[in-house]
Structure 1
């Protein structure tokens, strides 16, 4: 596979992933208008378990399938590659059926376990998705191993579009029959989306069966690999990735149980606790997810960049990538965090304008705390990508596990304090990612022996952010006194973005080399260089 085709494939998957993430965030925000914070609490309760079960059944296995299929195809063993796909397909099917039946049969028990009985319909509604997503993942892994990214991208987008359309439609249709059923309808959107995505990728597969059969006929005649050998190879690759992918869902599952129980222990009813949890996980957290579109794209670019330099034993280049990676991550995380902090309540009033004043202020106070997690979460993503590129994926997994333990302890202690309540869960999230980021940072510095220029990496981005915050605050105070708050908020965001971008260029906090880490960054850097706004 040529470098250009690799980058093109990465770009296709990156764009599809970004669009899917944006659609998902817009969906969560829109859903609030139908379900309110209480209904969002019922809806959101099932997702930590759903994500955990998906992580077990799908997280590492598509990667393993893609890698092993690509290796066999590189040797001309097309027959062996297709046989590996068929073996793993049935494994995915079994795993999907098992997790689906588990949730379907245990919906009542699970809703009681997480102290949210009204989430019962949501558990029922999510069960079909647990069977369908693994099937879709098997096909995705096979196509990625064939170095064809369009089937994966197409199924991702179709899956998300159907999820949004069907979820909103059913939530609205069932609203007259109560919030629990409406939340179940919204949750069924995930199952409808999974079905649509599976159908699309299967249609693509069968449309290419003629070419696949032709490949198999032209295959080099290799000895047939034993079933045990295939399974062993898949597990060796998949298990470490699966462990890493499971930590955050495990943390979130424990979070649901702790937050709901602790809130009820300090006097809130189950319905009130569900509403508060909905404000935390369904409203404030949704806005935290949006800036991650950029940080995830950066992390995706860091893995191949570091891997390539590491394979060539070019340690000087690795150090340059690490310096740029940390700096660009801060350039994304700092303004996102402080921007959300300084305008936390105005942004909530803008996005959730139909909610009452008490809800807006409550979610605004949660967002103000949670916003700081963006600084450390974006660093965790980039530093994890660097360690993966160095071939040491388990180190960030262990560090995140330590952060998860910190979060569990702090959530239990802080959420049970009446004066803090649900904000304790937000504070513990910040602490968890802070711990993981610090440990990852130490590991990256140790294994790459990189020295950072304090002024370039920290001082210049901080100066740029301070200027942004000052202008945002002043513009909002001034504009909100002469125009309505929502327009003042939008205008202040635009002012902050322009000031921040200009400050980065003037201080030299960002250079043309940094743009190369981002998809499409080279073209933009050439334009800015041409007009004299960007340094080499």
Structure 2
């Protein structure tokens, strides 16, 4: 690797520095994504955005199975020093899973379109399907570098893939704007293009390192496979709950809304494509804390320093809360101004609905951020199953409440927003409840002077200072 690239991509960071880097990358990526929705909504309209969002739940499910657990799982293995070279096995294992995911998405395109009652979904799914494979490879590289306390490659590739998606998506949407189905499908094909380019760059970066330049990229080892699956499978089961609930919600919500109004697809597009996009922007900022906490907490937990590990987890949650609350307040207060400036193509009625949805769900900026960070902390502490249970419970609750509340004419699509509020609050509360009692019980076993030292600040110095 050239020296200038090694200096940029090859240095380790402390927890705070790593969190800032990955948060900056995530925030810039989400900011580009939010800005992308402005011209995209103007080109595709409410119905086009509805079709766009109806494709994503299946994509996210397959993406979750093939890629979601990799960064945190590989990071935990590498940071704990238990599996040197695990990333090569991960390339082989998840490359195969990603390829299967791409084929599955292509084959499921027609059944999904039939279930949702939207024929345009079929072509969209087929053009998006190759992205599943590319993201799987990209995720292995991200996990490899995160495990080495280096968040720069993750942040850099996130921004690059988003920038490529924005530029290619707008160009293709404008090219096919006279045909709504082709316009939506082409914007989703832009996602495939962006993931292809980003994964090629990431793999080239990994291969460019001196120690890995001559080694085979794919090497399947039964021992390494078992180690990887031990950490990634629980994370995957946790992460898959959300897209599964979104898929069920897209089917349930759209079909129930059709009983109330002929504009069901447009209403779902405003809820899922516009409102949730605004809510997820602050969540992306706190993602850096979740990602950076795993390689810092894992070695402490693995070496038996439970007091320090739990104290660092609680500190990370408090920082998350401090970041998320102001964002949530800003979303609630400035919802009318934001909607007016960003989504000018919406009708007056659609704009009023979007303002209402954003204000209802503003609290989700806090609860989703806490769920994200708490799940990462539980994984780092070696308790991923607890995060899995809470996530599944909350997502099942979300689908059930959506089916009940959306039937009320006074609520309509706002019922889905209320259901999301309740479910994410339950998930956040349960995750935090799992962390706090465990932390207390473990610290109670430590002698008083040690507890006082850890709580007094010594753990902070050890945990946050970069290890050379």
TM-score by length of structure 2 reads: 0.82
- CA change 1:327–1:287 in 2 (3 A) is same
Q: Do the aligned partners of 2:87 and 2:140 also contact (CA within 8 Å) in 1?
A: yes
Residue 243 of structure 2 corresponds to residue 242 of structure 1: no
Shift of 1:201: 2.3
Name 1:95's counterpart in structure 2: 97
Q: 1:34 aligns with which of 34, 43, 48?
A: 43
Q: 2:168 aligns with which of 166, 169, 173?
A: 166
Cα distance in structure 1, aligned partners of 2:88 and 2:380: 29
Name 2:135's counterpart in structure 1: 133
Cα distance in structure 2, aligned partners of 1:30 and 1:285: 17
Name 1:440's counterpart in structure 2: 431
Cα distance in structure 2, aligned partners of 1:353 and 1:49: 29
Cα distance in structure 2, aligned partners of 1:327 and 1:141: 25
Name 1:106's counterpart in structure 2: 108
Unaligned runs of 5+ in 2: 1-9, 442-456
- CA change 1:433–1:85 in 2 (3 A) is closer
Cα distance in structure 2, aligned partners of 1:28 and 1:134: 25
After TM superposition, the structure 1 stretch with the greater mean CA deviation from structure 2, 61-70 or 193-202, is 61-70
Which deviations, in whole Å up to 9, do the C-alpha atoms of 1:167-197 show, x marking residues without a partner?
A: 11111111112x2221111111110101111
Shift of 1:445: 2.5
- CA change 1:444–1:230 in 2 (3 A) is closer
Q: Which has the larger radius of gyration?
A: 1
Name 1:342's counterpart in structure 2: 333
Name 2:267's counterpart in structure 1: 276
Shift of 1:93: 3.0
Residue 294 of structure 2 corresponds to residue 294 of structure 1: no
Cα distance in structure 1, aligned partners of 2:67 and 2:53: 21
Greater RCO (CA < 8 Å, at least 6 residues apart): 2
After TM superposition, the structure 1 stretch with the greater mean CA deviation from structure 2, 138-147 or 164-173, is 138-147
Cα distance in structure 1, aligned partners of 2:12 and 2:302: 15
Q: 2:351 aligns with which of 360, 382, 396?
A: 360
Name 1:375's counterpart in structure 2: 366
After TM superposition, the structure 1 stretch with the greater mean CA deviation from structure 2, 248-257 or 154-163, is 154-163
Shift of 1:311: 5.6
Q: For residue 172 of structure 2, give the secondary structure of its aligned residue in structure 1.
A: helix
Q: Do the aligned partners of 2:22 and 2:288 also contact (CA within 8 Å) in 1?
A: no
Q: 1:59 aligns with which of 65, 68, 73?
A: 68
Shift of 1:124: 2.0
Name 2:25's counterpart in structure 1: 16
Residue 242 of structure 2 corresponds to residue 267 of structure 1: no
Name 2:159's counterpart in structure 1: 157
Name 1:430's counterpart in structure 2: 421
- CA change 1:324–1:121 in 2 (3 A) is same
Shift of 1:306: 4.5
What pairs up with 1:183-198 in 2 under 5 angstroms? 183-198=184-199
Shift of 1:59: 1.6
Shift of 1:212: 2.7
What pairs up with 1:218-229 in 2 under 5 angstroms? 227-229=221-223
Name 1:43's counterpart in structure 2: 52
Cα distance in structure 1, aligned partners of 2:148 and 2:291: 20
Which deviations, in whole Å up to 9, do the C-alpha atoms of 1:84-134 show, x marking residues without a partner?
A: 555443333322222222222332221111232222232122112122222
Shift of 1:338: 3.3
- CA change 1:135–1:315 in 2 (3 A) is closer
Cα distance in structure 1, aligned partners of 2:433 and 2:181: 46
After TM superposition, the structure 1 stretch with the greater mean CA deviation from structure 2, 110-119 or 37-46, is 110-119
Measured on the aligned residues, the alpha-carbon RMSD in Å equals 3.6
Name 1:482's counterpart in structure 2: none
Unaligned runs of 5+ in 1: 217-224, 451-512, 521-536
Cα distance in structure 1, aligned partners of 2:147 and 2:235: 17
After TM superposition, the structure 1 stretch with the greater mean CA deviation from structure 2, 134-143 or 28-37, is 134-143
Q: For residue 200 of structure 1, give the secondary structure of its aligned residue in structure 2.
A: helix
TM-score by length of structure 1 reads: 0.72
Name 2:448's counterpart in structure 1: none
Cα distance in structure 1, aligned partners of 2:151 and 2:208: 15
Cα distance in structure 2, aligned partners of 1:377 and 1:325: 15
